[in-house]
A and B are shown apart, each in its own frame.
Chain A
Amino acid sequence: MLKTNKFVISAFVFLGGIMSLHAHADVVKVSVNGMVCGFCAQGITKKLNNTQAVEKVNVDLEKKIVSFETLAGKPFDDEAIKKLITEAGYAVVKIERTKQ
């Protein structure tokens, strides 16, 4: 009985682990200065997609926000985000992260 319980629990933990790999980890909103045209938006979107650590990238020129969802199991910390956007030529003002 105890053995079955242990098995069921570990099976759930294992399945949970697998499922979280496919879920989105964080919703990230980055306030960026210097974006003025669709070309800026395209470039930043491309750079983010190239990392293969994010999806659903969206650039809002009006609100000056770059938003995306990180993929679980692919760490993409604030430092890496800041580096990528700075190297693309823009300035990061703020990074907001909400767990999903």
Chain B
Amino acid sequence: MTDSREKKYLQSPHSPLSVAIFLGLLNPISALAHPVVFANGTAVMGHHQGEMAELEIVHSPTPKLGLGLSFDRMPQELSVLGKASALLWRGNYPDYQSNIYLSLAAGRRWAAGRPESEGHSSSNTKGNASSPLYQWSAGWDGEDRLIYSMLKYAQNYSNDGLSKQQGTLRLGFAPYKAQNDELTVWGIMEWLPEKSENQMQWTHNVTPLVRLFYKNALLEIGSSFSGKVTFNYMFHFFN
């Protein structure tokens, strides 16, 4: 009696598998918490803020290396990058973990109606210019079971040199220490300063987020103080 009831529970809509599938259907992809992961692990991440959307797929052949592809879409721009990330340092403490990582990426970007396209081709009157794109970024994160902090800086280089600078600072707090199989809830404050080549000044986005983390799925939802809706997810698979 009890046995069959237990089996039914595992197949119920609340079983971990069903939740994972549900999250997977909501977004074709999924999430995780550390930048470079277990050997043979694959992470699928999505970042959405306002009109910006980014999709990233990273595979780790070794625990210290991540190889990935990222697709960025902005209102006037699309970019595709191949990315290699290395875990340069990892600190393991009784209740705390910290990581320093470096990423190098190369790819292409397509910008609509950019000024530099005018001089080039006469056939492309719409001015859709494609150019090589390079990026480097360095990051640090540190977390225990109640506090999470992350710092990152990235620079993009395009045809005319430096095309974008972006920083990220995140501080998160969990109201309780979750067990392995429990849902973890975090409140996160994110500060995102950014400067593109066509901007004279830095823009700042400050976004409070709620992070839900369950098994191999991570979901973050928030709205910036300037009203941009933010939605991030990360799913992680490994053998």
Please give the residue numbers on chain A whose beta carbons come within 8 Å of chain B beta carbons, in ascending order.
Answer: 32-43, 46-47, 50, 59, 61-62, 64, 87-91, 93
Closest Cβ of chain A to B91, distance in Å, is: 8
Closest Cβ of chain B to A93, distance in Å, is: 8
Closest B residue to A87 using CB positions: B63
Contacts of A37 in B (CB 8 A): 33, 143, 145, 178, 184, 213
Please give the residue numbers on chain B whose beta carbons come within 8 Å of chain A beta carbons, in ascending order.
Answer: 32-34, 37-39, 41, 63, 87, 90-97, 143-145, 177-182, 184, 213-216, 236, 238-239
Is there contact, CB below 8 Å, between B238 and A89? no
Give me 17 A-to-B residue pairs in the complex whose CB atoms sit less than 8 angstroms apart, sorted by A's number: A33-B94, A34-B91, A34-B92, A36-B97, A37-B145, A37-B184, A38-B178, A38-B213, A38-B214, A43-B238, A61-B177, A61-B179, A62-B177, A62-B179, A64-B95, A87-B39, A89-B90
Is there contact, CB below 8 Å, between A64 and B94? yes
Closest Cβ of chain B to A48, distance in Å, is: 12
Contacts of A50 in B (CB 8 A): 239
Expressed in whole angstroms, the Cα–Cα distance for A38 and B94 within the complex equals 15
> DSSP class of A's interface residues: helix, strand, loop or mixed?
mixed
Is there contact, CB below 8 Å, between B239 and A61? no
Closest B residue to A31 using CB positions: B94
Closest A residue to B183 using CB positions: A38
Most chain A CB inside 10 Å of its own CB: which residue of B37, B144, B180, B184: B180
Closest Cβ of chain A to B98, distance in Å, is: 9
Contacts of B93 in A (CB 8 A): 33-34
Is there contact, CB below 8 Å, between B177 and A34? no
Is there contact, CB below 8 Å, between B216 and A90? no
Is there contact, CB below 8 Å, between B216 and A42? yes
Closest A residue to B41 using CB positions: A43
Expressed in whole angstroms, the Cα–Cα distance for A34 and B33 within the complex equals 13
Is there contact, CB below 8 Å, between B63 and A36? no
Contacts of B38 in A (CB 8 A): 43, 46-47, 88-89
Is there contact, CB below 8 Å, between B184 and A34? no
Is there contact, CB below 8 Å, between B239 and A36? no
Closest Cβ of chain A to B122, distance in Å, is: 54
Is there contact, CB below 8 Å, between B145 and A36? yes
Closest Cβ of chain B to A80, distance in Å, is: 16
